[in-house]
């Protein structure tokens, strides 16, 4: 029997079972609850509640960009992060947390500089990087951290 992974829907945050081999092959599948694609090649905006589902309950590693709307380097990195999402999904889910709207979440992870990216696997932090990066740098950093 094929191994299946739990994948959180980016639209409704419902957990879905997806065969690992289909995700590795690049097929994204659709949410059994709302019908939205499980991966769209774009970062997902998370709040405190949806963060828990994507970080701790999903089997897909989660790369979170902690940012703020007033931050120049955050704005400069946003299109690079978007581009990286198109290359890293469905192996890694990319998400954004607005530290102005989610101050408790930013405090929980000790975010002191933005942009800061944190890579989570099964709810545990596995890597952290502060400062803006280009798409190739983000992809390389994530791949190295997941080895």
* Distance in angstroms (rounded) separating the CA atoms of residues 15 and 38: 10
The two structure tokens encoding residue 47: 């709040």
Buried b / exposed e across 106-134, counting CB within 10 Å, b at 16+? beebebeebbbbbbbbeeeeebebeebbe
DSSP state of 30: B
Catalytically annotated residue among 12, 31, 34, 74: 74
Q: Is 71 a catalytic residue?
A: yes
Q: Is 74 a catalytic residue?
A: yes
What's the burial of 59, exposed, middle or buried (CB within 10 Å: 0-12/13-18/19+)?
A: middle
Q: Name residues whose C-beta falls within 8 Å of residue 37's C-beta, 6 or more positions apart in sequence.
A: 10, 28, 29, 30, 31
Catalytically annotated residue among 9, 12, 34, 71: 71
- Catalytic (active-site) positions: 71, 74
């Amino acid at each position: 029997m094929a191994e299946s992974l739990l994948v959180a829907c980016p639209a409704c945050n419902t957990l879905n079972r997806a065969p690992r081999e289909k995700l590795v092959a690049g097929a994204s599948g659709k949410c059994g609850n709302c019908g939205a694609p499980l991966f769209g090649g774009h970062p997902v905006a998370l709040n405190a509640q949806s963060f828990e589902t994507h970080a701790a309950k999903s089997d897909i590693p989660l790369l979170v960009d902690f940012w703020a709307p007033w931050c120049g380097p955050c704005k400069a990195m946003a299109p690079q992060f978007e581009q990286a999402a198109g290359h890293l999904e469905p192996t890694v889910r990319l998400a954004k947390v607005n530290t102005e709207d989610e101050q408790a979440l930013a405090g929980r992870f000790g975010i002191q500089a933005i942009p800061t990216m944190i890579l989570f696997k099964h709810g545990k932090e596995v890597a952290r990087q502060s400062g803006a990066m280009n798409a190739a740098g983000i992809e390389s950093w994530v791949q190295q951290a997941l080895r």
